[in-house]
Amino acid sequence: MTEKGESTYRENCAKHKRKIEKTWKVLEDIILALSLPDKEHNIDSLRNKECEFQETSDNYIEKTQIFIDFLKRTKRKESESELTFTKNEYERTKTIMDRVQRDIKTRKLDFVDTVSQNSSQHSSQTSSVKKRI
């Protein structure tokens, strides 16, 4: 490969990596925000974080896939090792993203379950009071 071709390859790799890293940092920020105690969250905040997380995850997956496709098309020794590294990193981040999505869903269900139980108890107490009157 020519010097110009080598330079272009490195620039493209760096550009793709910057985009992926920037998107991953947003995901990290969302994960950190979700790590706050449950008392800091209500159903609306969980829904908002879930939506934000899903959109950013989709963006991350798309950017990573574009980079993987670029590396596959390049067919160079350097791109093969970069491809292996990127695929391994992607699998790890995908596992994390899946776990966080399940966690958000579980937390929303727990929240609704708690509200439902409290509502049921309140209705039961109200019925008891009405019967006594």
Taking the C-alpha atoms of residue 24 and residue 39, their distance in angstroms, rounded to an integer, is 26
Residues of the chain above pLDDT 70, percent: 86
Domain range annotation of the chain: 3-132
With residue 48 as reference, give the H or E element that holds it: helix 43-74
The pair of structure tokens assigned to 31 is 């994960």
The predicted pLDDT at position 124 comes to 54
Backbone dihedral angles phi then psi of residue 18, each to the nearest 5 degrees = -60, -45
The predicted pLDDT at position 14 comes to 97
Range in 57-61, 95-99, 115-119 with the lowest mean pLDDT = 115-119
Tokens 């006594």 belong to residue:
132
DSSP codes of every residue in 4-34: HHHHHHHHHHHHHHHHHHHHHHHHHHHHHHH
Residue 68: is its pLDDT beyond 60?
A: yes
* Model confidence pLDDT, tens digit, residues 44-57: 888 999 999 999 99
DSSP codes of every residue in 87-123: HHHHHHHHHHHHHHHHHHHHHHHHHHHHHHHHHHHHH
Tell me, yes or no, if the pTM score tops 0.85.
no
The predicted pLDDT at position 45 comes to 87
Range in 6-10, 23-27, 66-70, 113-117 with the lowest mean pLDDT = 113-117
